[in-house]
A and B are shown apart, each in its own frame.
Chain A
Amino acid sequence: MRVPRHALHLILPTLIPLLFPCAGCQLGLDVMPITVVPPLYAHVGREVSVPLAVPVSDETVVWEWRSLNHPELATRLRRPTVTIYTLGRAVWRWTPVADDIGPQAIEFRARTGSAEGVADLTLNVDSGSEAPVFREPVGEGTTLDLRQSDCVHVSVVVEATAASRVELSLSQPPAGATLVQTGDLAGELAFCPTPAQIADDTVYPLTIVAGAAAQTIQKTYVIVLRRP
């Protein structure tokens, strides 16, 4: 065996070579190292490409894989595929679905007429979610016309792909301002200024806070009073 002309020694320092003694290999075959390049991340709905290589030049390589913790992965209709190239190279491709969220362990096996190798890959599939965003209120503030109403009510809606519920609150609110959660991702901001507040000022800035898991987002909002 010899190293391919593309000089894997250039690749190896930054890739993660996973060299294993070939447990379960056929007797009489040489042990062949497999280079597995793990993906930076694995998200649901996004194809994962895992380059594979063995140090052969012109021999035919048979590639095999199996899931060590989800055997059904190999039998589902949309199972991962291996594209085999020349010079001992191949690419394993897989698009995880929602049911695949969590740890995945894959075993790769390569075989030529005279050698065999085995390598494992572990990866964690996540949902591919993004930070939550405020959807309502869309603007920066509103006006409470005290000639028409004593209170202002503002709908607050958060879009969160990862969490089915966020915790809504107010930061540094004026006295009497409340934010009541009306749903998992919604709430209502209410402010009924007292006569003293009406006499004191007409502009009440506040900050709406939404927390989901480890992520917290804020939105500044201004309530302007229109005196009678």
Chain B
Amino acid sequence: MAAAARSALSLLALLAVLACAPSSSGLSDPDPGLADLALVALGPQVLLPGSQIVLTGRSFPSPGDGSLSLLLSGNLKSSQGVKSTFDVRLRAEYVSATEAHVLVGAELFAALGTTDGTFDAHAVLIVESAIDLSSHNSPPLRVDLEVRSVLQPVLATVEMGDGPLHPNDWVVVHGDGLLLGGIEGQTVAVLDGCFVPDGVTGDCASVGRQVAGIEVPLRPLPTRPLDRRVGIFAYSPSIHGIRPGRFTGQVLLKNQQMGTVPVRSDSRALAVTQVAPELRSFTPSAASLGQYVELQGAGFIGGRPGEATLVRLLGQFMLAGAPLMIPVDLDIVIEPVRRYPDGPVGRYVLDETDALGQALAPRGGLRQAAGTFNGTATLILRAGKESVTGLPTAVQLTLLPVKQLVLVKFLPSYRESLRLFGLRAVDLAVRARVFDVARRDYAGANIEFREVDPDAAPPSDFALYTVVEIGGSDPNGLGYLGYDNTPGRDRQNLRLYDRIGGVNAVTMNDGAPGYGGVFAEQLLGFSAHPGNVEQIQGPGADRALFDRIFDPLRPDVSGAAAAAAASEAAAVPALTDGNICPVEPGDRPHLIACAIFVLGNLIGTTMTHELGHSLGLANPSNASGDYHNNGRVLGRIMNSGGLRSFRERAELGSGGPAVFCDTDFAYLQRILPGGTPPRFPPPRPPCLD
């Protein structure tokens, strides 16, 4: 009794002192999402100092959700034949939900007690979950591995496909003991011999070009990146230039390993006939400003000092919609893309400043001059003072009207913010509504919206694209719903490459907030009880409406969040309008559907507004005009925030959806022509600009 009383008094005293943390009874254990955790494969089989062990499997948590480590335990047999057991735990770095990396270093070798030996072991991936603060182990995976301090390369065969080689064609080597790059070291092919250009006769030693110890880096085969028995190298212009001719000599492999003396393989004879570059086709055959056109063929070089690949275009350009044929005779510059096995290929990006862009400038340039080029294309290689020209190939390339590609990234903080609305389990449905809103608002302008992962590689089809990030709270700490942090209004959309998101040092340097994007968590500010979120000014009736939509789902007001269960998700219809909203709390499927619809609208219309700024709105014809529409006409997307009510943004009742006003929309169609017009064009209020 006394102990209980002391405890109670202590707690009371503590609560009186503490100001920050809410005291509450603990929640039951959260689900860390690791039920399917598994380690499926581990490699490479031979480990060196500095090697990177690649772990592949399932359900690896991101760093915010847990830390990863690899437990290896088993039996070792050293190169001297000594047997022992070992047990070691190594830190693993998250790469993706299916891949993690472990660096091989002193910790592993110390545990093994040797730098050379073989071992069979059980590998277990251990997750220290930040969600439930518990340790989770994958089922053990049996592995047979080897450790070596030095790896001796072996060259067995050299494979060059059928026939002669073009500059930069891939050469495949088979053998063993190849280094995989990174910290463990690099294998290089070393070539010696002599090259005689076509048309030159005589003894190579006197008339040819001597090749002595030219080193070309070897790469693992991209399709087997952990295989030490096969690698590729490019038949580089650095070996003997780019002229057609014949090389006769030897090749060997050299391992340049961290902290060791290089070791070499035996050499193999090598005879190569090098031929001129070839161009076969352009893909796609129709493209717009900022889009890549790939050139299929062989012999593409560049990206190193003194090297270049050009294409000479000869023919005629027919302007779309006009009986005009413009003669074309120009050179464009090509980027080599070192792809395997169907490469290297050439890549050209439609660019306003290059020869093609300049040639069409009098016709409005690549933004206005749609049409089709018909003629021939000829590859020209340059390396130092050497020049080699291929044969002309008939090609057709259609220039399409300028298109704005918009990549939408939903950040982890956005997903976390959905928990506050009780909608984490229906994330994908919210995203789908966001895209519906974006495509509807911009229907008629030539814009493509595309969802990509936050860490996705750049797209392979466009060099110029805008990024919009959907996040959680406003990192500027200002409580904004969204913010275009690109420099100024980009009138005429001169930049096709804006980024509404992340941090922009230039705008921050100007005294403006630096962090941009759409901030989903701030939308809770429409509530009468927004918790930690800054409240947004508005009529009480709007707050009540917001709370009727979300309170039954919000965990912080005792709502029951939408469940991840397939049965509940399947019962939720996708709404195209809000006529039924809000619904009674008992009608759970429609309750969730309305919340998805409203939150998707709120995020979507905030995104279309911020994107409008980056496209040059509002008042695009006025350099000193306001960032927002003039006057107090309601229902315009580019109105200032004070004129955009919750009902309008949520598209509930008679409010919304807002649209681009008359001259704003005409401007969008002018700068991004060729879009598909809406089936039912909405009435557009005046912009008053």
Instruction: Give the B-binding residues of A (Cβ under 8 A).
Output: 6-7, 10-11, 13-15, 26, 28-29, 37, 39-41, 44-49, 51-53, 60-66, 74, 76-79, 81-87, 89-91, 95-99, 109, 111-114, 127-130, 135-143, 145, 154-155, 159-164, 171-172, 184-185, 201, 203, 205, 207, 220, 222, 224, 226
Contact segment of B46-54, B76-84, B98-106, B305-313: B305-313
Q: Is the CB of B532 within 8 A of A226?
A: no
The answer to whether residues A143 and B505 also contact, given A78-B532, A79-B532 and a CB cut-off of 8 A, is no
Q: Is the CB of A185 within 8 A of B308?
A: no
Find B13's partner among A26, A139, A140 (CB 8 Å cutoff): A26
CA A14 – CA B25 in complex, angstroms?
29
Q: Does B349 contact A (CB under 8 A)?
A: yes
Q: Is the CB of B505 within 8 A of A207?
A: no
Q: Is the CB of A83 within 8 A of B130?
A: no
Residues of A within 8 A of B65 (CB): 49
Q: Is the CB of B532 within 8 A of A81?
A: yes
Nearest A residue to B346, CB-CB: A140
Contact segment of B166-174, B506-514, B584-592, B648-656: B506-514
23 A-B pairs within 8 Å (CB atoms) are namely A6-B132, A15-B128, A41-B63, A44-B503, A63-B21, A64-B21, A77-B479, A77-B532, A78-B473, A79-B532, A95-B472, A114-B3, A128-B502, A137-B351, A139-B348, A140-B334, A142-B354, A159-B497, A163-B505, A164-B506, A201-B385, A205-B308, A224-B355
CA A53 – CA B476 in complex, angstroms?
31
Q: Is the CB of B475 within 8 A of A44?
A: yes
Q: Is the CB of A143 within 8 A of B354?
A: yes
CA A17 – CA B628 in complex, angstroms?
53
Residues of B within 8 A of A164 (CB): 505-506, 508-509
Residues of A within 8 A of B307 (CB): 205
Q: Does B14 contact A (CB under 8 A)?
A: yes
Q: Is the CB of B333 within 8 A of A142?
A: yes
Q: Is the CB of A14 within 8 A of B128?
A: yes
CA A224 – CA B513 in complex, angstroms?
42
CA A199 – CA B89 in complex, angstroms?
67
The smallest beta-carbon distance between A31 and chain B, in angstroms, is 14
The answer to whether residues A222 and B128 also contact, given A45-B475, A46-B412, A51-B133 and a CB cut-off of 8 A, is no
Give residues 475-529 of B contacting A (CB, 8 Å).
475-477, 479, 495, 497, 499, 502-506, 508-509, 513-515
Nearest 10 pairs between A and B by C-beta? A113-B7, A141-B333, A45-B475, A139-B351, A143-B355, A97-B477, A164-B509, A140-B333, A89-B133, A86-B26
Q: Does B224 contact A (CB under 8 A)?
A: no
**15 additional contacts, CB 8 Å, given A47-B64, A89-B26, A112-B7?**
A11-B135, A15-B128, A44-B475, A45-B473, A60-B11, A62-B15, A64-B21, A97-B474, A113-B3, A113-B6, A140-B334, A164-B508, A171-B305, A203-B310, A205-B307
Q: Is the CB of A111 within 8 A of B351?
A: no
CA A141 – CA B355 in complex, angstroms?
9
The smallest beta-carbon distance between A199 and chain B, in angstroms, is 14
Q: Is the CB of B10 within 8 A of A98?
A: no
Contact segment of B27-35, B249-257, B608-616, B632-640: B27-35
Residues of A within 8 A of B26 (CB): 60-61, 84-87, 89-90
Q: Is the CB of B502 within 8 A of A161?
A: yes
Residues of B within 8 A of A141 (CB): 308, 310, 332-333, 354
Q: Is the CB of B10 within 8 A of A113?
A: yes
Residues of B within 8 A of A171 (CB): 305
Q: Is the CB of A82 within 8 A of B308?
A: no
Residues of A within 8 A of B28 (CB): 85-86
The answer to whether residues A138 and B290 also contact, given A14-B69, A37-B130, A205-B307 and a CB cut-off of 8 A, is yes
Q: Is the CB of B304 within 8 A of A220?
A: yes
Q: Is the CB of B476 within 8 A of A142?
A: no
Nearest B residue to A61, CB-CB: B26
CA A74 – CA B65 in complex, angstroms?
24
Q: Is the CB of A47 within 8 A of B472?
A: yes
Nearest A residue to B532, CB-CB: A78
Find B20's partner among A65, A140, A185, A220 (CB 8 Å cutoff): A65
CA A156 – CA B3 in complex, angstroms?
74
Q: Does B566 contact A (CB under 8 A)?
A: no
The answer to whether residues A139 and B20 also contact, given A37-B67, A161-B503 and a CB cut-off of 8 A, is no
Q: Is the CB of B18 within 8 A of A64?
A: yes
Interface size on B, residues (CB 8 A): 93
CA A79 – CA B24 in complex, angstroms?
18
CA A4 – CA B479 in complex, angstroms?
41
Residues of B within 8 A of A46 (CB): 411-413
Nearest A residue to B477, CB-CB: A97
Residues of B within 8 A of A109 (CB): 18
Find B497's partner among A52, A135, A184, A220 (CB 8 Å cutoff): A135
Residues of B within 8 A of A91 (CB): 130-131, 133
Q: Is the CB of A129 within 8 A of B135?
A: no
CA A159 – CA B502 in complex, angstroms?
12
Give residues 377-404 of B contacting A (CB, 8 Å).
382, 385, 387
Find A138's partner among B22, B30, B304, B351 (CB 8 Å cutoff): B351
Q: Does B270 contact A (CB under 8 A)?
A: no
Q: Is the CB of B472 within 8 A of A220?
A: no
Q: Does B8 contact A (CB under 8 A)?
A: yes
Nearest A residue to B17, CB-CB: A64
Q: Does B238 contact A (CB under 8 A)?
A: no
Nearest B residue to A86, CB-CB: B26
Find A6's partner among B23, B135, B333, B497 (CB 8 Å cutoff): B135
Residues of A within 8 A of B14 (CB): 62, 64, 111
Q: Does B464 contact A (CB under 8 A)?
A: yes
Residues of B within 8 A of A78 (CB): 473, 477, 532-534
CA A110 – CA B133 in complex, angstroms?
16
Find B514's partner among A28, A98, A130 (CB 8 Å cutoff): A98
Q: Does B330 contact A (CB under 8 A)?
A: yes
Q: Does B303 contact A (CB under 8 A)?
A: yes
CA A117 – CA B497 in complex, angstroms?
52
Q: Does B260 contact A (CB under 8 A)?
A: no
Residues of A within 8 A of B15 (CB): 62
The smallest beta-carbon distance between A198 and chain B, in angstroms, is 15
Nearest A residue to B310, CB-CB: A224
CA A74 – CA B18 in complex, angstroms?
11
Q: Is the CB of A85 within 8 A of B11?
A: no
Interface centre among B3, B11, B28, B308 (most CB of A within 10 A): B308
Q: Is the CB of A139 within 8 A of B503?
A: no
Nearest A residue to B385, CB-CB: A201
Residues of A within 8 A of B412 (CB): 46-47
Q: Does B427 contact A (CB under 8 A)?
A: no
CA A159 – CA B19 in complex, angstroms?
43
Q: Is the CB of B358 within 8 A of A143?
A: yes
Q: Is the CB of A138 within 8 A of B349?
A: yes
Nearest A residue to B65, CB-CB: A49
Q: Is the CB of A53 within 8 A of B133?
A: yes
Find B27's partner among A47, A76, A81, A86 (CB 8 Å cutoff): A86
Residues of A within 8 A of B424 (CB): none
Residues of B within 8 A of A155 (CB): 353
Q: Is the CB of A62 within 8 A of B306?
A: no
